[in-house]
Amino acid sequence: MRKTIILSSAILIAGCSLAPNYERPAAPVAADWPKDAASGTREVANLDWRAYFPDAQLQSLIADALEYNRDLRIAVARVAEARALYGVVRADRLPNLYLGASQTGSHVPADLSGTGTDITARRYDVNVAIVSFELDFWGRVANLSAAAKASYLATEEAERAFRLSLIADVANAWFVLLEMNERAALAQETVASAEETRKLMARLRDVGVAGDLDYLAADGAWQAAKADLANLEHQQSAAATALTLLVGKSLDDLPVAGKKLADQGVVADLAAGLPSEVLTRRPDVLSAEQNLIAANANIGAARAAFLPRISLTGAFGTASRLLSGLFTGGSDAWNFQPVLSMPLFDFGRAAANTDVAEARKVQAVAQYEKTIQQAFREVADLLSARDRLVIQLQAMEAAEKAQTQRKQIVDARYKAGISSYLEVLDAQRQLFTAQQTVVTTRRALLSTAAQLYKALGGE
């Protein structure tokens, strides 16, 4: 029996594989990023998210999300499931030994025994058995194991991709909340200022200094400011709810005021490197490639169905008609049963399964190439957006400064009786719009930085 196991192991090791030789498809993208995408200085490959997002409160939110987010829990559980399934398939590559103990009893009546007397027989067996172990001549079991391993690795990379997305999404939701807080604070200041102006115009109208036109303009500006504030407060509440959902638990210490986007300290100076470097680092690309490897291995398993299959069943142990005689001399017992099965006529089942496996590989190749193209586009767009948003923010900050100076001049001219109140209202509206745009652009730049960290395959 020992020689049989050694021989079987040698045959297993020498078995061949019918799977096609795997070759990574060429990336269907350019060899470099677009010319207008500037390069940064920091390497994302060795950059932990805590170093990239230095704000302590944001770090706490991300840490909570990584612990409590339900979708991430599902992704982690799927990795554990895939790992266990791989373990099940991998076990089929080695003989499984079973310890068995049994008792068999039978009674034959006298008229059937042939001896004229009834016969009662008992048998006791204890053995170690191998049940239906397949000699993997053609690599069928090995390819199934390779496919299961690749599927497990694909699931693991998909979990890592989701983890990166969650980090970026929490950061983005945090930036949106801060944006809404800042914009709502600006709107509250505008409402308060417009209300004071409205009251002033009412008093001036009562004493005949101002007319109805000035009062109605002030009242309209106040009502419009209140409407803007109500809309921003609604967005503020929605942003807080979205962040709470991502984190996965109730948040009682979200900032209402005081926290500024300009204080986040996130600098999107990440070095893009070559596309080939980025694409081999991104977990979604790695996951798509592992799915392709699994599809390639499944072709080998499907092709093996056309060839003979040999399985072994055997047992070695001791047997006796008496329980006390199981381990006495001369009680050795063994059996050995090799089985050869050869498909003759299966109405095209094996051929159809092979066609299915090959079609799935074609799909996996296309999905892999599509994933690379999407990754290239995402990174290229974010690199371009990063540079343009920096220029846009600088321009909008300059515009805000100009509108502030304009309002000061118009206020002075109005007090001197040179400008009309309509000019004052127009200057207020222009300044408010500029302030809101600066906040929105700053948030957009931070959101781009968060997405770029994910797109470049940050750790």
Strands lying side by side in the sheet with 309-320: 97-108, 119-135, 309-320, 332-341
Q: Please, what is the Cα angle at 15 between 13 and 16, to 5 degrees?
A: 130
Q: Which residues contact 240 (CB under 8 A, 6 or more apart)?
A: 177, 251, 254
The secondary element (H helix, E strand) that includes residue 130 is strand 119-135
Domain boundaries, the chain: 2-95+137-306+360-455
pLDDT of 407-454, one tens digit each?
899 888 888 878 777 788 888 888 988 999 999 999 999 999 999 888
What is each CA distance from 199 to 207, 210, 222, 229, 420, in whole angstroms?
13, 12, 10, 19, 18
Question: What is the residue-level pLDDT of the chain in tens, covering all 459 positions?
Answer: 444 443 344 344 445 678 888 888 888 888 888 776 656 677 776 678 898 899 888 999 999 999 988 888 898 898 888 888 888 888 877 788 888 888 888 888 878 777 778 888 888 888 888 888 787 778 888 888 888 989 899 999 999 999 999 999 999 999 999 999 998 988 888 888 888 878 877 887 777 777 778 788 888 888 888 998 899 889 988 988 999 999 988 877 666 555 789 888 887 788 777 787 788 888 999 999 999 999 999 898 888 888 888 888 888 878 877 777 777 877 788 888 888 888 888 788 888 988 899 899 999 999 999 999 998 998 888 888 888 898 999 999 999 999 899 989 988 888 887 877 778 888 888 898 899 999 999 999 999 999 988 888 877
Whose CA is closest to 299, among 135, 140, 151, 149?
140
At which residue do the structure tokens 């395959």 appear?
457
CA gap 99, 130 in Å, rounded: 9
What tokens appear for 416 in the block? 């001197």
The secondary element (H helix, E strand) that includes residue 317 is strand 309-320
What tokens appear for 29 in the block? 């993208």
CA gap 112, 306 in Å, rounded: 48
pLDDT of 198-257, one tens digit each?
887 788 777 777 777 878 888 888 888 899 889 988 998 898 899 999 998 887 766 655
- For residues 448, 453, 456, 457, the Cα torsion angle rounded to the nearest 10 degrees is -140
Whose CA is closest to 175, among 58, 314, 292, 60?
58
Contact 393, 441 (CB under 8 A): yes
- For residues 221, 224, 225, 226, the Cα torsion angle rounded to the nearest 10 degrees is 130
CATH no., domain 2-95+137-306+360-455: 1.20.1600.10
Q: Which residues contact 309 (CB under 8 A, 6 or more apart)?
A: 134, 140, 340, 341, 342
CA gap 385, 444 in Å, rounded: 9
Whose CA is closest to 147, among 368, 295, 283?
295
Residues forming beta bridges with residue 338, ordered by sequence position: 312
